[in-house]
Amino acid sequence: MSKRTIIASFFLILFSVMHAQEKFNYTEANSKSYELFLNKSWSELIHYSHEVRKQGIDFFYLQARTGIAWYNLERYSRASDQFFRAYRNEPSFDWLNEYLYYSLLGSGRQAEAVKYASRFDPDLKNKIGLKEKGIINLSLETGYGINTDYESLISRDFSTEVNLGGDYGEAYITKNYSFQSLDISSRPAPGLSLNQSISYLGLNQKAIVDWGDQNSADLHTSQFQYFINPVWVAGKKLNVSSSLSLIFGSRDIFVGGLTNNSSRFFTNTKSSFSDAVFTTELWTVFGPVSPGIEINAGSVNDSNILQLSSWLNIYPLGNTKLYFTPRVYFKAGEETGGLAFNSIGIAGGFQLGKVFFSGQYLKGEMKNFIESNGYIINNFTGKSDQKISGSIYFPIGRKYQFVLRYINQNMTDQYTVYTNGIVSNSAEYRYHKQTITGGISWKF
């Protein structure tokens, strides 16, 4: 190596060391960050503030400017972190509070946004349209579902498949169903949200009874569900949501029997039912990820159940325009005994322009299964091993939103054989249930 090369290398290393040891000071950091802020050089401002903080320099305006830079890049979870730091230093600036509020909304943290907004000045509350008390949203939705395998099932010869002979065999085959729901979201007090829903579901089935000859009857089930769900934030960012679902109604039952002289007869009767499920959810936020846990306990179809699930919301872009939610379910009941793996699911959503798309895939042993914080309870006969759903949300003006949903679900039920009144055999049958729903919501 030449002497000239050695000298050049020495000065290059010396320059690098001196540059690495360059110290920022408050005046320079304030001046430079303000210049980048005025020029709207958001990415450069974020990089510069990072380098400054590595040398232990941090102050209110650096935090606020960095937050605004992240906000303009639509990285709302990163923005809210900086706004929180600035807020702790100076919570009285309305412009900062407004940025904090919208960054929380943009990162999917509505409950926290409402909690902090309840402390804002009246003028700012009015500006952001905060409604501290009263009804904030009203939704109506209706839907219709069918069993696409209905015709083939009612013509299927179950009695031959199970070698029925003189025994008693029956199946309740789903034909179609419809439902309507009314949802109301309100704030009974600042920082406390309350969701309520009343829904009706009408289910039509065909009862097939083989006992000597085959007899059949059209049956109807009427079910009502009341759902109540308070949501609040405990501490800084622990979100708490509890709910109670009360389900009640009546169903037709078609049965055969014997008269006093041992003659066979068939009759329609009605039976009432009631179920209740209590749910608690806890979740928190760590930047672009949000882990949570849900516990469901109650009685469904006269069976006591305990269901546990855990999930992780992932926002790759740091906002709600794209998210993924893997989720795993565990269940304890009369069939499983202790807590055991039950199902797994993946949900997600993305926004294109003003239209939002979301979907969910579930796979497992879904019998008496509970979804969506107790809002959806699958409490009819049979079980499902797969469910695929998708939704499209269309905003209509500033206060209205239309939603269209599609659900495709694999179902399994059974033809049951009784010998002297005791279950002695059965044959499973599968069918597909497809549902389309539509609804509209009003923002008050």
Q: How many other C-beta atoms lie within 10 A of the C-beta of residue 129?
A: 11
Q: What is the pLDDT of residue 371?
A: 86
Residue 22's pLDDT band, with cuts at 50, 70 and 90, is low
Residue that wins the pLDDT comparison between 377 and 109: 109
Residue 14, pLDDT score? 41
Residue 325 clears pLDDT 90, i.e. is over it: yes
The confidence band for 376, taking pLDDT boundaries of 50, 70 and 90, is confident
Q: Give the model confidence (pLDDT) of 90-139 as tens digits.
A: 999 999 999 999 999 999 898 899 889 988 999 999 999 888 889 999 99
Confidence of residue 237 (pLDDT cuts 50, 70, 90): confident
To 10 degrees, what angle do helices 26-38 and 42-54 make? 170
Q: pLDDT tens across 180-229, in order?
A: 999 999 999 877 899 999 999 999 999 999 998 899 999 999 999 999 99
Other CB atoms within 10 A of residue 260 CB: 5
Q: What's the chain look like in SS3?
A: CCHHHHHHHHHHHHHHHHHHCCCCCHHHHHHHHHHHHHCCCHHHHHHHHHHHHHCCCCCHHHHHHHHHHHHHCCCHHHHHHHHHHHHHHCCCCHHHHHHHHHHHHHCCCHHHHHHHHCCCCHHHHHHHCCCCCEEEEEEEEEEEEEECCHHHHHCCCHHHHCCCCCCEEEEEEEEEEEEEEEEEEEEEECCEEEEEEEEEEEEEEEEEEEECEEEEEEEEEEEEEEEEEEEEEECCCEEEEEEEEEEEEEEEEEEEEECCCCCEEEEEEEEEEEEEEEEEEEECCECCEEEEEEEEEEEECCEEEEEEEEEEEECCCCCCCEEEEEEEEEEECCCCCCCEEEEEEEEEEEEECCEEEEEEEEEEEECCEEEHHHCEEECCCCEEEEEEEEEEEEEECCCEEEEEEEEEEEEEEEEEEEECCEEEEEEEEEEEEEEEEEEEEEEC
pLDDT of 330 > 50? The answer is: yes
The per-residue pLDDT of the chain, averaged, comes to 91
pLDDT at 444: 86
Interval 343-348 mean pLDDT = 97
Residue-level pLDDT at 199: 95
CA distance 40 to 26: 21
> Mean pLDDT, to the nearest integer, of 275-287?
94
* pTM for the whole structure: 0.86
Q: What is the spatial distance between Cα 92 and Cα 214, in angstroms, rounded to a whole number?
A: 78
Domains of the chain, start order: 19-128 (1.25.40.10), 134-443 (2.40.160.60)
The dihedrals phi and psi of 328, each to the nearest 5 degrees, come to -125, 140
What percentage of residues in the chain have a pLDDT greater than 90? 77
User: 202 exposed, middle or buried (CB, 10 Å; 0-12, 13-18, 19+)?
Assistant: middle
The percent of residues above 70 in pLDDT, for the chain, comes to: 93
What pLDDT does 111 receive? 87
Q: In this predicted structure, what is the pLDDT of residue 374?
A: 67
Q: What is the mean pLDDT of residues 132-159?
A: 95
pLDDT at 69: 97
